[in-house]
Chain A
C-alpha cells in the first residue's frame, strides 16, 4: 500500500471519534459537569492503571472476536449482521454444556464447551449462508432479523426448560467449576484473553498469507471476475460465513466461561457484543491491527462507563450516546480515501492550469 493512503484512512477513523466525543462534551456541559474531568476518569482509569488496563484487556477479548467475525465477511462484501444472534446461541449452549456435562477434567470440559459454542455459532450462520449461496437471498436482511428470532428462542429456553429453579430471576444454572476460567492475579483477566489473541493471530495469518484470504479479497472486489477465474464463489461464501459464525460462537463461549457463568436475559449487555463488534470493525477499517486497537479502545470506554458513574455525576448512559454517534459518523467517509487531500488539491490546480493554457 502506498504511503499517501494512510493519512486519510487514519483520519476517517479518528474524525468520527473526535466528533462523537465533542458532541458528548457539549451534552456533559449542558448538564453542568466538566467534560474533561469525566473523560479523564473514563479513559485514565481504564487505560493508565495496571489493574484497569488488565480489566480492559479482559473485556476486549470477546469484542476482538466479534469485530473480527464481522470484518472477515465485510472484506468479501458479504454482510453478516447476525453476529449478535450467533454469539448468543453459542454462548447459551456453551453455558448449558458447562453446567450439565459431568466432565471432571478442566481442560477437556472447556474444550467441549468451545466445541459446542462454536458449533452453534456455525450452525446458526449456515441458514443465511446457504440461502445466500444457493438461493441468492439478501444475507444482510436475513441475518439482521434472525437475531430477533434467536433472542426470542433463547428467552423461551431460559424461562422454560433450562431455568434455574432456585433463582429469583430468569437465568440458567451456573457452569461447573471445571468449565470456568479463573482470574489471573487481582484483575479480571483470565486465560481466555490469550485464547482470543491466538484466534486473532490465526485469522490474521489466514487472511493475509493463505489462498483463502486472497480469494476472499478477490470476491469482495469483484465476485463475477472471481467466479470467471475459477473460484467457487458459492462455497467460499459458506466457508466465510462458517468462519464468522465460529468466531462469534467463540466470543460467546469465552464471555460465558470467563465472565457471566450463566445465561441471563441481558447476557450480552445493551447494545450487545455483536453490535459492538460492528463498531469495532468499522473503526478498525477491517484491518486486523486496526481491529485490535479499536477493540482495546472500545473496551476502555465500556469499563470507563462504570468509573464515570462512580466518580462523577455524569450518568454512564453518556457512553452509549457517544458510541452510537461514533457508528453514525463512521458510516460515511469524511475524506476520499483513494486520493489524499493534497493529491486532490494538486489535481484541481492542474485542471485550472490546463484551462488557462488552453
Chain B
C-alpha cells in the first residue's frame, strides 16, 4: 500500500518537468523547428536559479535568473536556427553540450560538486490542497506538490486553447505546415518561429526550476538526465497535439516512477523500464509512418 502510494505520488512528481517541456515544445514542433535544446534550456534554468538564489539569498531572483538564462539561449537558438538557417538539430545538440560545460566550469571555479540552499526548506514550497488531501490514496497523490506542478496540469487545456483557438496558434501551425503559403499570405514566418521557440523556452525554465530548486534545493550537473529527450519523444508520439503529447508525457512519467520505486526490489533490472519512452516513440513513429504511406497509396500517390 505504501509502495502504491509512493508510486502514485512519484508519477505526478516525475511527470511535471516532462509535461512542462512537452507543453512548451509542441509549438516549436508545429512550427517546423524541432527544438531538441529543451534539455539544455532546462538545465540552464536549474543551474542559474540555484546559483543566483544561493548568491543573493532570494528565491524570486533565482526564478528571474532562470528565465533570463532561457531567454538568452532562446535568442541564440532562434538567431542561429531561424534567421541564419543553420541545422536546428546540430544547434540544439551544441546548446545541450554548452550548458553542462559552462555549469561544470563555474562549479569547478567555485570548488564544489553541487549547489545547495541550506536556508531553503523545500517543504515550504509544497502546497497541500484542502479537502482533496483527505481523500484516501488519491489525496496523497494529488496533494503536497509545488505550485508549478498544479500549473503544469492546468496548462494542458490552456495550451489546447492557445494552439487551436487563437490567431497565434493557428499562424504557428500554418507556418509549420506550409511555409511558402504562409509567406504568400504576408505572414512573417520567422517571427512566428521565434515566438514558437520562445514558448518552449519559458516552459523549460519552469521545468528547470521545478527540477532543482522546488524539489530538492539542490543542483548537480547533468541532473536533467535526458528528460528533454523524453519530452521530445512524447511530442513526436502525440504528434504535437497538446492533449495527446501530454498523455504520453504522463505515461513516461509513470514509467520513470515505476523504475525508481521498483528499483528498490528488482535491483538493476528496474532501470530497464527507463527505456520505455524511447521504445514507445520508435514504435509510434513507425506506425504513424506506415499508416500515412498506406493512405497515400490508397489515394494513388505511390512512392510518397
Contacts and interface: CB of A to CB of B under 8 A. Distances in A.
A141 B84 contact: no
B80 interface: yes
A127 B98 CA distance: 30
A131 to B, nearest CB: 6
A275 B90 CA distance: 10
Contact of A315 (B84, B87, B109, B226): B109
Contacts of A323: 97, 101
Contacts of A135: 286, 289-290, 293
A324 B90 contact: no
Contacts of B91: 328, 331-332
B98 A328 contact: yes
A328 B89 contact: no
Nearest to A158: B268
Interface in B62-96: 76, 80-81, 84-87, 89-91, 93-95
B84 A131 contact: no
Contacts of B271: 152, 155-156, 159
Contact of B233 (A145, A315, A325): A145
B189 to A, nearest CB: 18
A145 B275 CA distance: 10
B236 interface: yes
B268 A148 contact: no
Contacts of A271: 97
A149 B86 contact: no
Nearest to B88: A331
Interface residues of B, number: 46
Interface string B263-290: 0000111011011011101100110011
B272 A144 contact: no
Nearest to A157: B268
B229 A275 contact: no
Contacts of B34: 141
Given A146-B278, A160-B268, A317-B105, A327 B286 contact: no
Given A127-B282, A152-B275, A315-B105, A141 B98 contact: no
B109 A131 contact: no
B121 interface: no
Contacts of A153: 272, 275
A31 to B, nearest CB: 6
Given A145-B278, A149-B278, A152-B275, A137 B286 contact: yes
A289 interface: no
Contacts, number: 123
B95 A332 contact: no
Interface residues of A, number: 43
A318 B103 CA distance: 11
A125 B109 CA distance: 40
Given A137-B289, A332-B80, A149 B89 contact: no
A239 to B, nearest CB: 21
Interface in B98-112: 98, 100-102, 104-105, 108-109
A278 interface: yes
Given A136-B293, A152-B275, A324 B105 contact: no
Nearest to B279: A149
Contacts of A146: 278, 282
Interface of A: 27, 31, 79, 81, 127, 131, 135-138, 140-142, 144-146, 148-149, 152-153, 155-156, 159-160, 270-271, 275, 278, 282, 315, 317-318, 320-321, 323-325, 327-328, 330-333
18 contacts: A27-B105, A137-B285, A138-B285, A140-B89, A142-B282, A145-B229, A148-B229, A148-B275, A148-B278, A152-B272, A155-B268, A156-B269, A275-B97, A321-B105, A331-B90, A331-B91, A332-B85, A332-B91
User: Top 4 nearest A-B pairs by Cβ distance?
Assistant: A332-B86, A320-B101, A315-B108, A328-B94
Interface of B: 34, 36, 76, 80-81, 84-87, 89-91, 93-95, 97-98, 100-102, 104-105, 108-109, 226, 229, 232-233, 236, 267-269, 271-272, 274-275, 277-279, 281-282, 285-286, 289-290, 293
Given A315-B108, A324-B97, A327-B90, 7 more contacts: A127-B282, A136-B289, A137-B285, A156-B272, A160-B269, A321-B102, A332-B91
